[in-house]
Chains A and B, each alone.
Chain A
């Protein structure tokens, strides 16, 4: 059993599938509602399989922040440039195998978009680091 992060991007990643080229503001409100409902269904289905751990969406606006020395305010850089990779949200799953993680990611990626067609959206799949095994 291993945990995987399914990372959804607003921008970045490989060249999008034609179905995923239009931004959400080009969809109809019903299409947006159907997309969000599908996300909820994926979470419910993963829960029913005993695989769902967590899922969160992120606002697109934000800034880079770093330490700037003792007694100085944090340095910020933002908002994010249009060219930068931008994370939209994530889902965390606990599954039996990498193959199963990919299958779940493909399911999530099949969410309906414009005209109700599957988005084929790229999702980044990253394994969590675990505890070392006990048998050394």
Chain B
């Protein structure tokens, strides 16, 4: 870890590290530590982001949910907040601006989205835990060296999350509960060791604690303003006045007591749903949803380094009618080839006048799961054999195109050298074709290259030395494309052997045809 003092700017969504600022404000320093280091990623706009993705920045949006029969704002994006809309507000209590888009909160979608984020986060660490519906706790101590320190690790995380359409807040601390608490009280703060954690927590107000209002009031009544005051009180008295749980929580915060964290277990299969804010029929909206689902699937598959053999699209309509579309795929399948059957199916559905309320994607058979096989280089990770040349060739053709693959069969190229009758002509003898097997170059140039000629002598990378023996090819007299050539083996000045020919009856027409490796 970098021994320089660094501190993360607490400006929301603006990650920057400033050593000078750190010195001035006496903020925690990064000093090597052998303890755990927890990153808490909190997604304040998660309920909106999972529904609209990157569109969140364009329009004021708020997610709403029904609490005791009252439609209440769950989260509002910065644009909506600027209009005075805040979390916890009832929709009836404010004038609904037409520009504000109200989205019905969908916890199922949030659940699947958080699962996908866990899949994404597994690239940084295998130790993680979900916190509620919109938070992730990652233990990153072992990953710091690999990612170049906590600064670059956090930058990478935030950048990637932004590209996925999320705006996270984070806090880094040696204990999980401190990371969670500090993320809400001092967003984007990084505390790397317990000494600094104790200093920071000592001056943190008790209002930051995740306890009930009554407990906070009790603390205020005791004259306790911050956690440092709390720790100075006699523990037995504190237990009696508040509770044992409260004292345990304080110990966990400061790292004096271990915490029990529910570890994330990777899913055995992939399932995700995209719910439309209103019922749709347009291909564009569905394609957008499909792309989002495939992005989540990609995160899931990335960790497993594998591909499924079959995908199932689930299309749910306004009439609660569900259609399932199963698509076979392999490693040559592209995103377009997976979405294409869905689009053509939707066109038929559109003709039937049926709207779509949600789109789901399910993958049941992912063959490999790294969570159970941690040795990357064991034989289990060497992929599958490709059995039969038909499957090799069909796979190659699907991805690279028909023209990219060909078999090296004699005569298949229809080159003049393959098909014409040949005979050797030396200065002394004329050999019959049947017993003559002249040396051939291993390579042919794709198109014969015309050679420059000086004093009737061809040149290629300097003056050529040409073997006296020549080979003549002649097409049969009844063929329309008459070919008459003399072939020679020549050597360049640097000793490279080439195969050249001269068109008979045409002055100075020498061509490079092949290369002897």
Chains A and B belong together in one complex: no
